């Protein structure tokens, strides 16, 4: 049925310009809401980086048990590296970076704006900025044991702890948020 216009009724709709203005206002408000609620996905990426470290340490521990050789983790202020012992000469063993394992390659967390702070067996460890030959801080034994540690993952801007990764002597790892009971 065709629309019937009544005489004297000024019927009109919205102009295209009015609709565009409303859409711009709604899009701007939505943008502000997203910025107010989230951090652009950084929080998710930071959590993923910490969970990735935990998974890689678990993998390295399991490989140490299966292969019967110790592995170690060396930390620096903005990342970590997995190490294994290499015979340098007839009497000398040194910790050297794992080259053959793609999953355990060196990781740099500075791109996410993170810094690391390490305590080994309750004592603070001074981490270097970006060492050429990192020290072995945490040893993952072939018996499943590991050096007890606490690794604080900090926001490099505010120096606030975002996560804490704890390793126990029995080889268990646990991720915590600051303020959670240990």
pLDDT digits (tens, 9 = 90+) for 28-54: 887 776 665 555 688 899 999 999 999
**What percentage of the chain carries pLDDT values higher than 90?**
57
Q: Give the pLDDT score at 121.
A: 94
Handedness of CA 48, 131, 64, 146 (dihedral sign): negative
Residues 72-77 have a mean pLDDT of 95
Q: pTM of this prediction?
A: 0.75
Q: Give the pLDDT score at 25.
A: 85
**What percentage of the chain carries pLDDT values higher than 70?**
88
pLDDT digits (tens, 9 = 90+) for 83-114: 999 888 889 999 999 888 888 999 999 889 99
- Given the candidates 3.30.70.3400, 3.30.200.20, 3.55.40.10, 3.90.380.10, the CATH classification of the domain at 41-176 is 3.55.40.10
In the block, residue with structure tokens 């340098």? 88
């Amino acid at each position: 049925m065709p629309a019937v216009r009544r005489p004297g009724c000024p019927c009109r709709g919205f102009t295209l310009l009015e609709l565009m203005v409303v859409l711009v206002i709604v899009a701007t408000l939505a943008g502000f809401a997203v910025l107010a609620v989230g951090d652009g996905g950084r929080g998710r990426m930071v959590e993923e980086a910490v969970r990735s470290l935990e998974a890689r340490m678990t993998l390295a521990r399991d490989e140490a048990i299966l292969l019967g050789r110790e592995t170690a983790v060396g930390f620096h202020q903005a990342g970590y590296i997995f190490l294994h012992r290499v015979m340098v000469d007839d009497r000398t063993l040194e910790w050297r970076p794992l080259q053959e394992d793609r999953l355990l390659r060196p990781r740099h967390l500075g791109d996410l704006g993170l810094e690391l702070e390490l305590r080994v067996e309750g004592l603070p460890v001074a981490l270097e900025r970006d060492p050429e030959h990192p020290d072995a801080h945490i040893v993952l034994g072939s018996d499943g044991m590991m050096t007890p540690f606490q690794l604080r993952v900090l926001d490099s801007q505010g120096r606030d702890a975002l996560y804490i990764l704890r390793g126990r002597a029995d080889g268990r790892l646990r991720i915590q948020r600051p303020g959670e009971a240990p």
